[in-house]
Chains A and B, each alone.
Chain A
């Protein structure tokens, strides 16, 4: 194809998106669109499955049978969401195995929040409330994104995730209504998870590199800073209901803007974790790589068995 022809196709393509038409896998698309989507969708998928680990850390120690079942179901959902997203990514012509290789080699990124440790039971509450709360704000607009398989996966994810945040908030509420020791546990979890949750929305708009293009392709509808503000505005009153304090001395309601003002985020910490030096980066990767490597003989056996069965079938038929 000549450069001119490509340019022409690109213009038609961008016009389709501008008209709110969906792009489906077999449609022509600019290479950059494909690569950007592979990167973003797989990063999202990786976040789901790495995100299973900090919460999975408490499955065996959940304090009641009811909580144990809910947590198991939630972590299982995350596996499901990872699966939907990998499948969406695969429609762009890359295999799940290749995506795993990118994750395991450190080439692909995932949400940094999962590199923080879950040290008390209250962390399970805080993750559901704050981390899933932030994720929902990030994800809901994606139900309308331009790439059909991604949008459909997100519809399913958002529908299923509605219980996750409630599950977390209920844990926090129970702790805050409990003994002083329990309430302190909840406060401690909020103290540790608040700032990393704000970082989940990514660098400030001034620092963000992908925003303009992502807006055009409807991978993003609002900027990082807008989403972060939405999260804060929505979460602070929820903390008040719990009766615990958001760990930000600069946080205060601004009558004029109709939003909360908040303090400076520690971006140095953010970049440190993104670059692989968070408290649990190594453990998380070790767990993922370990599960994958230890599972190899199992996956191979299933394939070998399937092949044998197929051959038996063929032999019988002939």
Chain B
């Protein structure tokens, strides 16, 4: 039996108003320990005001092999971007 503590992903909000960002991973036996470890490993220098931890196995990731069908179709939808539209120079802010 593999007894190694499972891997967790750590997300930290560095200050209120900002989103939680992926900071890294660590091992912990349970969620409470994952939070405590994350606090000591990733916020020793005042890096955070809020922590999320999630066991790595619960993350579903897209497959890079599918990147073509997943992401490339978005590249051609240039009309979603403001620069697609022509405006006369006189219109300064829009």
Contact = CB atoms under 8 A, between A and B. Distances in A.
* Chains A, B in direct contact (C-beta < 8 Å): yes
Interface in A250-297: none
Contacts of A302: 5, 29-30, 33
A26 B41 contact: no
B5 A90 contact: no
B54 interface: no
Interface in A67-90: 76, 80, 83-84, 87, 90
A300 B44 contact: no
Contacts of B61: 26
Contact of B3 (A24, A303, A305): A303
Contact of A28 (B4, B26, B29, B64): B64
B25 interface: yes
Interface string A134-167: 0000000000000000001100100010000000
A87 B64 contact: no
Contacts of A28: 64-65
A97 interface: yes
A69 to B, nearest CB: 13
A83 B41 CA distance: 9
Contacts of A153: 24
B45 interface: yes
7 contacts: A27-B64, A28-B65, A90-B7, A95-B2, A95-B4, A156-B24, A303-B5
Given A83-B41, A303-B3, A309 B65 contact: no
A96 interface: yes
Contacts of A156: 24
B30 A97 contact: no
Nearest to B7: A90
Interface residues of B, number: 19
Interface of A: 24, 26-28, 76, 80, 83-84, 87, 90, 95-97, 152-153, 156, 160, 299-300, 302-303, 305-306, 309-310
Contacts of A26: 61, 63-64
A309 B30 contact: yes
Contact of A305 (B2, B24, B26, B29): B29
A156 B47 CA distance: 12
B84 to A, nearest CB: 27
A29 B14 CA distance: 33
A181 to B, nearest CB: 36
B13 interface: no
A97 B24 contact: no
B20 interface: no
Contacts of A310: 30
A28 B64 CA distance: 8
A29 to B, nearest CB: 10
A113 to B, nearest CB: 25
B24 A84 contact: yes
Contacts of A299: 3-5, 29
Interface in B33-70: 33, 41, 44-45, 61, 63-65
Contacts of A87: 7, 24-26
Nearest first, the 3 A-B pairs at minimum CB distance are: A302-B29, A306-B30, A87-B25
Contacts of A303: 3, 5, 29
A305 B41 contact: no
B41 to A, nearest CB: 6
Contact of B29 (A24, A27, A80, A306): A306
